[in-house]
Structures are given as structure tokens and as C-alpha cells.
Amino acid sequence: MAAIVGMVVPAGTAQGADRTAPPPMADGFGLTQVDSAVGGPTNFYITVTTPEVAGKHHIKIILPSGYYDDPARRYPVLYFLHGSPDDPIQQNYPALTTSNSMITVIPDGGPRGWYANWLNQRTQAGAQNWENFHLKQVIPFIDANLRTVATKKARAIAGVSMGGFGAFHYAQVRPDLFSQTASLSGDIDLSARSMDLRLAVVASLIDAQGAACGSMSGVCDPKDSPYKPGVDSDALFGSPYPVFNVDRVWNEVDPSQHMDKLKAGGVGVSIYVGNGRGQVTDLEFWLESASKHVKDAMDALGMSYYYVNYGDGSAWGDMCNGGHSGGCWEQDLRDLIPRLERSFAA
């Protein structure tokens, strides 16, 4: 995807524009806005539809506090991907609002979209081309409507849990788009050695209510599962079982097996993870192993990277318990965002 240059700046970003409401956003790139924008001038969300993914989808946008002060200034962008079964409007980490030097965009990834184009587009869930939605539609839509610096150097992608997988996957698929990627407790090893994580993904697909609600980044009631309607276990990446290469697609999208793509693309890598306090019932326990596998792969490739294992969280801020929890991710973001700002400014 080529950088968008010479775009017309929307009227809402010009000097003298209404600073009490979100800036106007023009439809395009396959996205159609429905309903009105919700929120204030620098922290709001819009709702869109797209042929690529069934239903309505929120895109949350956080602008720097001084966005309207200088109509000539452009900003780098952090794309932040939420976990399962969350939604962009639930991403209220205070750290996301601290930057005065970059725009943050949080697109909808669905409760179990897994930031991918599903193999089976004929399930009860309807169209599920999340990768197309984000890479081919959301990014150019943002560049056309906001004062972004529409280059690889000025674009980063990070995510929590399911979103950590998405951040690494997207950076590996399109290293020309992103200069930095970061996983916060991400599902970044979907190889056969991490079968527990594969099965957690499958649980969200088939609506295995108890397993799904206990395995993902959000909190849900099995009686009111967000993973409905259940679909076939093979709908996303085909069979997850490593027999006669039927799990080929899982291996193709598994971040741990393709770190060479980030090295070749010059993409900076950050990983944050805890140890779940050593409890096998905490997903973080398994994600620690997954992150270690990725670290080993980067070491074998001679890659530079930023890696934080905060263990039980006792030395990682005052809200982190080392588990798969928002308190730890808030502290991750407090560490990550200043680092991204320095990278963008370099």
C-alpha cells in the first residue's frame, strides 16, 4: 500500500474549526459511516460498515490535545488492537491519552475476529475479512481524513492478547506499513508446541462458552457468551491439528515462525508479558512460554528487540498482578508509548 500524499485536509481540521466536536470524516475506501460520532473533539469513536466484515464496527480515535492548534502539523499514528472479546470503546487505558505527539486509532477486531481473513466466509457469522478491513480500508481512511504522516516510519501497531497476535501478524504481512510492532500478552506463538493457545482460539470459534470466557482478555458470562453464533472449528485457519500438514495455515500465520519477515522489513519489536503467578489457570502462564519461543527465534536470527517479562508484576507499577489483566497492560503502555514517541521523533 503506497503512502497517501497530497490528500485534502478535512474541513474539521482547519484553523477556526469547531473544537467542541470530533472532526468530520469522509466515507471512502469501502467504509460507510453510520450513526453519529460519539465523544469529544480529541477522544471519540465512529461506527462504520464494510463489505469485508458483517455488521457495524467501531473505530476509536484519540487525537493529541493540541491537534487543532496548528493546522499544518501532521502526526504519526499508533494502531492499537484490542483483545477478545472486547470492543474499541472499551479500550480506556489512561496511557493511551497521554501522548501529545501521535494519533492513536483503535479499530474493531470483533470478539473473535483474530485479525485475519477467515478461510470460510460462509459461516453464520457472515463475511470475516478482518485483515482486508484494517490494512486495505482503515489505514487509508485514517490517512485521508486526519493529518497523519502517511509513511512506514510514522506508523506503529501494537495489541493486547488477541490483538498482540494481530499486531505481529499485520507487521509480518505488511512490513512496508509499520516501523514498530508490539505485543502485550499476545498470542504470538500459534505453532503446534503451543496447542493450548490454538485450542483457546478454537474455543472462541465454536463458542465453547466456559473455555472461551476463561481464556480471553475480557470478562464474560458463559450464559451470555459474546462468541455467538458458534462456527466450525476450521472456519478461521483450517484444522488446528498437526497431522499430515492439515494445519498448514496455522503455521503460515504463526508469528513465532516468521520473525525473519520483521527483521528483513526493519520493523522494531517489543514484547511485554508476565508469568500468571505460575498458575496454569491464568492464560498469562501460557503466553509467557509463547513469548519466550518468539524471543528464542529472534535470538537465533540475531535480531534486536525490546523484551519485558514482569513476572508476578510486583515491580511493574502498582496495578499489575502478573496475570492476564488490564492493570499490567496499562503499565505496558506507560512504558511503550514514550518509546514509540522517541522512535517517531528520531
pLDDT tens for each residue of 226-275: 898 999 999 999 999 999 999 999 999 999 999 999 999 999 999 999 99
What is the structure's pLDDT at 20?
85
Q: How confident is the model at residue 219 (pLDDT cuts 50, 70, 90)?
A: low
90 near 141, Cβ under 8 Å? no
What is the structure's pLDDT at 298?
98
What is the structure's pLDDT at 104?
98
What is the structure's pLDDT at 5?
35
* Strand-pair category, 103-107 with 180-184: unpaired
Q: Which domains are delineated in the chain?
A: 32-345 (3.40.50.1820)
What is the structure's pLDDT at 221?
63
User: Residues 6 or more apart from 190 whose CB is under 8 A from it?
Assistant: 165, 197, 198, 201, 250, 253, 254, 255, 256
CB atoms within 10 A of CB 158: 29
Q: What angle do CA 256, 84, 112 make, to 5 degrees?
A: 85
160 near 186, Cβ under 8 Å? yes
Rounded distance, CA 316 to CA 222, Å?
A: 31
Predicted confidence (pLDDT) at residue 7 exceeds the cutoff of 70: no
What is the structure's pLDDT at 19?
81
With 0-12 / 13-18 / 19 or more C-beta atoms within 10 angstroms meaning exposed / middle / buried, residue 9 is middle
Could you tell me the three cell numbers for 42?
480529541
pTM of the model: 0.93
Q: How confident is the model at residue 12 (pLDDT cuts 50, 70, 90)?
A: very low
What is the structure's pLDDT at 279?
93
| pLDDT tens digits for range 131-157 | 999 999 999 999 999 999 999 999 999
Predicted confidence (pLDDT) at residue 60 exceeds the cutoff of 80: yes
Rounded distance, CA 163 to CA 111, Å?
A: 11
Q: Average pLDDT for residues 150-171, to the nearest whole number?
A: 98
115, 145, 295, 331 from 305: Cα distances, Å? 23, 33, 9, 19
The H-or-E segment that residue 287 falls in is helix 283-301
In sign, the C-alpha dihedral spanning 167, 173, 177, 179 is positive
Angle between helix 195-206 and 283-301 (nearest 10): 130
Q: Average pLDDT for residues 187-205, to the nearest whole number?
A: 95
Q: Which residue has the higher pLDDT, 311 or 213?
A: 311
CB atoms within 10 A of CB 343: 16
| pLDDT tens digits for range 297-330 | 999 999 999 999 999 999 999 999 999 999 999 9
Rounded distance, CA 258 to CA 246, Å?
A: 19
Q: Average pLDDT for residues 20-38, to the nearest whole number?
A: 96
Phi/psi at 33 (nearest 5 deg)?
A: -80, 140
The rounded mean pLDDT for the chain is 92
Secondary structure percentages of the chain, helix, strand, coil, to 5: 35, 20, 45
What is the structure's pLDDT at 211?
47
Rounded distance, CA 278 to CA 172, Å?
A: 31
* Strand-pair category, 268-273 with 180-184: parallel
Q: How confident is the model at residue 16 (pLDDT cuts 50, 70, 90)?
A: very low
What is the structure's pLDDT at 210?
47
DSSP result, 139-180: HHHHHHHS-B--SGGGEEEEEETHHHHHHHHHHHH-TTT-SE
| pLDDT tens digits for range 77-112 | 999 999 999 999 999 999 999 999 999 999 999 999
What is the structure's pLDDT at 78?
99
What is the structure's pLDDT at 225?
85
Q: Average pLDDT for residues 199-225, to the nearest whole number?
A: 71
